Amino acid sequence: MTYETILYEKNRGVLTITLNRPDKLNALNDTMRYELLDAFQQAQADPDIRTIVVTGAGRGFCSGADLVAGSEPMTSDSSLPFGDLLRATYNRIILQMRALPKPIIAAVNGVAAGAGMSLALACDLRIASDSASFTQAFIKIGLVPDSGSTWLLPRLVGVTRAMELMLTGRRLSAQEALDLGIVNQVVPADQLPNIVSQLTQEFANAPTRTIGYIKQAVDFALENTLADALEKEADLQELAGKTSDHLEGVAAFLQKRQPHFTGR
Ligand code: LHQ
């Protein structure tokens, strides 16, 4: 598939998805949402892809839903009621990202607003440029936080802070987002690509299957009892124990050398 609104670049096991509507701070229109969904599906199916970076072109990461009526290519569903619109694309993107058994890193280069913030929250790690910012902008236009923000944000920052951010729409600096635990790291803007690239090279050489199991285990644990989480860990550990990367990890340890993980 050729994409119009995102860039899809594969390099040495790393897929970089760049949201590419810089004039609108990479607002999500119909085309972009379907392209993102397709890109994450490709990322899941392609065994050469071991990690995914999501970032934005220009000075924004993603400003959420495209609010400029009539500007969208009328490809499909922009006239749907909001509930159906969410079910048709946004919700599927978020579920696809959480179910994707590979690490997804948000390289948050600029403002992440509304569903754009949700998109960042649905990634596994967030590295922010010092010029990034975050806003639960929904309330400013009289909408409920969506695309997973109500589920993801309280889990990251606790209910007290999440409610404050959702009720006020206050725009957080990257440093505030770091202090609250929304991002993993804040780096100078000009170093963001290099620092993210170092990290993703590590992930491109990691025991990928096990990373998929870790995502599954943590998301499961957040919704279930300790007893159920222990059972899930046991199931997933059995699978992890059968990977060649586990055998390689143990062999490398015993031979006092660096492991060579293949993601199998
Ligand atoms: C934009 C946008 C944008 C279009 C900036 N659209 N053009 C789901 C389902 C159903 C319904 C709707 O919603 C959803 C999910 C959602 O995401 S709802 C929340 C939607 N997003 C927002 O409400 C955020 C709107 N944007 C803003 O509040 C600001 O632009 C932020 C805080 C993101 C950035 O502020 P600034 O850095 O001051 O930039 P700016 O406002 O000057 O924007 C730059 C340009 O980008 C500007 O265009 P222009 O032609 O004047 O230069 C904006 O109109 C355009 N833009 N966001 N979402």
| pLDDT score of 75 | 47
Q: What is the CA(96)–ligand 1 centre distance, in A?
A: 24
List, for residues 223-251, the tens digit of each pLDDT value: 999 999 999 999 999 999 999 999 999 99
Nearest CA to ligand 1 atom 23: 137
- What is the number of the ligand 1 atom nearest to the C-alpha of 24? 46
Q: Is the shortest distance between the CB of 245 and ligand 1 below 6 Å?
A: no
Q: Is the shortest distance between the CB of 25 and ligand 1 below 6 Å?
A: yes
Q: What is the DSSP string of the chain?
A: ---SSEEEEEETTEEEEEE--GGGTT-B-HHHHHHHHHHHHHHHH-TT--EEEEEESTTEEE-SB--STT-S--SS-TTS-HHHHIIIIIHHHHHHHHH-SS-EEEEE-SEEETHHHHHHHTSSEEEEETT-EEE-GGGGGT----TTHHHHHHHHH-HHHHHHHHHH-PPEEHHHHHHHTS-SEEE-GGGHHHHHHHHHHHHHTS-HHHHHHHHHHHHHHTTS-HHHHHHHHHHHHHHHHTSHHHHHHHHHHHTTS-------
| pLDDT score of 237 | 98
| pLDDT score of 79 | 75
- The residue among 118, 124, 106 whose CA lies nearest residue 152 is 118
Q: Is the dihedral of CA 135, 191, 206, 35 positive or negative?
A: positive
Q: What is the CA(169)–ligand 1 centre distance, in A?
A: 13
What is the best residue among 25, 31, 136 to mutate for testing ligand 1's pocket, by most ligand atoms within 8 Å of CB?
25
Using pLDDT thresholds of 50, 70 and 90, give the confidence band for residue 80: confident
Mean pLDDT of the chain: 96
Q: Is the pLDDT of residue 77 over 80?
A: no
List, for residues 17-48, the tens digit of each pLDDT value: 999 999 999 999 999 999 999 999 999 999 99
| pLDDT score of 72 | 53
Q: Is the shortest distance between the CB of 135 and ligand 1 below 6 Å?
A: yes
Across the range 153-171, mean pLDDT stands at 98
Q: Is the shortest distance between the CB of 65 and ligand 1 below 6 Å?
A: yes
Q: Is the shortest distance between the CB of 27 and ligand 1 below 6 Å?
A: yes
List, for residues 95-129, the tens digit of each pLDDT value: 999 999 999 999 999 999 999 999 999 999 999 99
Nearest CA to ligand 1 atom 55: 24
Q: Is the shortest distance between the CB of 89 and ligand 1 below 6 Å?
A: no
Q: Is the shortest distance between the CB of 236 and ligand 1 below 6 Å?
A: no
Do residues 121 and 184 lie in contact, with contact meaning Cβ atoms separated by under 8 Å?
no
